[in-house]
Amino acid sequence: MPDAALTPAERSSIVRDSLAVGVATGAYGIGFGAVSVASGLSVLQTCALSLLMFTGASQFALAGVVAAGGAPLSGAATALLLGTRNTLYGLRMAPVLQWRGWRRFAAAHVLIDESTAMSVNRPTTEGARVGFLTTGVSVFVLWNVATAIGAIAGEAVGDPRTYGLDAAVGAAFLALLWPRLQDRRNVVVGLLAAAVALSMVPITAPGVPVLAAGGVALLVGALARTPRPTRAPGPDDAAGGHR
């Protein structure tokens, strides 16, 4: 991976896109705060989850299992199962970010869906680091502030759905996925994964469908014989293409 310095324009473009993802994702923490308190966790426990666990699907899963009457420890087990997704992200990100020592320990904490997506395709190490840190830290700060607001005010704050924020998250994920869909194998994997996830939504705990969809990648990746088809898109691709 080349280490060419970023131009100021490239840097601010990455920062702008990353902050947009941070705002869209972080604001949804209001929803987590409200759901978690409604599930029977205390405000302190809710905030501890956002501060220390910091991986949204796992947090929702823990609260969801408790709300459905499950034991706290089975909620924890579900959260861990979902957290294995981040191990796979880490495998992918370690050679991209090339951090050692305390930086790796710190970076691991903000290793989530969004920071990975906004970083993994950058053509330079510096670009990957800027995307990873800007996204990871902005999501972390906003997610925790929003969690506290949601937990303290509960449903009185209002439903994030009123502002269409739930739709914004789906749209953001689609925009991140879009540049990868130029390859036919990726389109097939994407459709299969979506179908697997949707078919499991009614019968499994929240979050499990996404994990199961990862199995599609394992299966296709293990069975495919031809070289990997994925080109490495530039930073502009992460912004939904040309601007």
Partner 1 sequence: MWTAVLLACLGCYLLKLAGMSLPERVLSHPTVERVADLIPVALLSALVAVQVFAGGGDGPALTLDARALGLAFAVVALLLRAPFLVVVVGASVVAALSRLV
Part of the chain binding partner 1 (CB under 8 A), chosen from 3-11, 124-132, 133-141, 196-204: 196-204
Residue 142 or residue 175: which is nearer to partner 1 going by CB?
175
Closest by Cα among 205, 161, 155, 206 to 37? 155
Minimal distance in Å, beta carbon 131 to partner 1? Answer: 12
**Cα gap 21→24, rounded to integer Å:** 5
Minimal distance in Å, beta carbon 85 to partner 1? Answer: 7
Q: In terms of C-beta density within 10 A (0-12 exposed, 13-18 middle, 19 or more buried), how is residue 145 classed? A: middle
Among 3, 9, 101, 242, binds partner 1 (CB under 8 A): 242
92 binds partner 1 (CB under 8 A): yes
Minimal distance in Å, beta carbon 178 to partner 1? Answer: 5
166 binds partner 1 (CB under 8 A): yes
Tokens representing 42 are 């205390």
- Tell me if 57 sits within 8 A of 214, measured CB to CB: no
Q: Among residue numbers 121 through 160, which ones bind partner 1 (CB under 8 A)?
A: none
Residue 11 or residue 104: which is nearer to partner 1 going by CB?
104
SS3 38: helix
- Tell me if 86 sits within 8 A of 58, measured CB to CB: no
53 binds partner 1 (CB under 8 A): yes
Minimal distance in Å, beta carbon 2 to partner 1? Answer: 17
Tokens representing 152 are 């303290």
Q: With contacts defined by CB under 8 A, how many residues of the chain interact with partner 1?
A: 107
107 binds partner 1 (CB under 8 A): yes
- Tell me if 116 sits within 8 A of 89, measured CB to CB: yes
